Amino acid sequence: MPLPSVTVNISDDSFLIQDSETTSENFLAGFILENLELINALGTTTDVANKFFQTDSSDLYERLSSPIGNGAGVSFAGFGGSAGTSGAVYPSVLEGGTGVTAGQIRWPKGAVYPWSDDFNNILSAAVYGTKIVVGISASAPFTSSNTHSLNAIFGAGLSADEYMDTIMSARENDCFAVRGITAVDSGAPSGDEFDIFVYGDKFTLPLGKDPETVSNDSQYIQTRLTSDVVGCLARTFRVAHPWFSPAGMNRGQIKNVVKLKDPPTAVQATALYNNRINPVLSFPGEGVVLFGNKTGAASTNILSRIEVSSLFLYLKNTIGSIARSTLFEQNTDSIRQSFINQATSILESVQNQRGITSFVIKCDETNNPPSVISEGRFVATIFVIPARSIEALEITFTNTNDGELV
């Protein structure tokens, strides 16, 4: 008779949740999908119909764990279907249905092919506290600015840049387009003050993966650093203001990175930045950091810096909102003064919070003469001097004789 024994088996049938920063309530990004795979896998019945949904890091995990189907015709792994298979409709995943047995959820082991790449890039931005609208380019958030006020758009697919061009045109350039550059020697891209270019990808450890068991890069999760730049923007809106730079040691720290894919050398990083492409660099003992602050505008343009362009986007949206209240009113001294008072309040607040150094508002009879008034137009000119961030720091150490310090 064998010696009595106890056998304990441990089965890992779950996914771990990454830590996330506090949600940035005043920042909303848009992630552009090339197809509906992720919507069908994670969406509700309404999401599937609308072809978009809004999410954050906690909501993404809740969607993985949902016990309710959506009628999209997708086989959910947790309901006995084969992961990623489209076309099959299980009774348990129709609208209002639940798992065959209690406790069954859609995706018990996390995201799967063919929508895992989109999921991982969305999550990479969400862990910074970013709220994200996820949808195809033809869905409502991307076809006009009337339904969602976006601060940035980004994507992971090969057609992301093409979609972003169309979306930016439809939304009249009311946000940033964060675009990825994959070749370190690609040259200067074509862009303007609403574009933010970033080079490279990062490797992240899969949730629950023991780093000691990783033998090659293919075992990591690879995501584009565009997601992290969007996250740094969201973090900056939360911990500072839109007119602060998202780069550097304080607000540009990159999360959940094991290592960078093909990190640039110092010479390559300089060349990238000269071409208006922001590098992400690793500093031993200090972390991996977004180390660039440029938009796609020419260096001679004051809007060539992210924080300045972000300032003007903020002023365009906030002062534009109060300007709409003058529509269909009479162009009189009192209406013009009311506009000046409201705009002054906004600009003084920005000035007090180090966004601008000075401003002047001109909105009187000189730029609203009878000819302008008779055409039904209202003209206001606002002059501002933006504050600028530091990009070159010079420190000189001088050796002196004892007792000669001043």
**pLDDT averaged over consecutive 10-residue blocks of the chain (406 residues)?**
51 58 96 95 93 96 86 70 42 40 71 92 98 96 91 91 93 96 93 97 87 90 97 98 97 96 97 97 96 95 95 95 93 96 97 96 96 96 89 69 60
**What's the rounded Cα separation, in Å, for the pair 295 and 309?**
8
Share of the chain above pLDDT 90, in %: 71
Q: Which of 121, 134, 117 is nearest to 43 (CA)?
A: 134
Structure pTM? 0.88
**What's the rounded Cα separation, in Å, for the pair 313 and 303?**
11
Question: Is residue 1 a part of any domain in this protein?
Answer: no
Question: Is residue 301 a part of any domain in this protein?
Answer: no
Residues 278 and 368 in one domain: no
Residues 142 and 228 in one domain: yes
Domain count, the chain: 2
**What's the rounded Cα separation, in Å, for the pair 74 and 81?**
8
- DSSP symbols for 203-250: EEPPTT--GGG--SGGGSEEEEHHHHHHHHHHHHHHHS-TTS-S-STT
| Amino acid, res. 188 | A
- DSSP symbols for 16-43: -----PPP-TT-EEEEEESSSHHHHHH-
Question: Is residue 339 a part of any domain in this protein?
Answer: yes
Domain that holds residue 203: 28-65+107-290
Residues 283 and 319 in one domain: no
- pLDDT digit string, tens, across residues 182-226: 999 989 999 999 999 999 999 999 877 788 888 899 999 999 999
Residues 362 and 326 in one domain: yes
Strand partners, 53: 134
What CATH number is given to the structural domain containing 244? 3.40.50
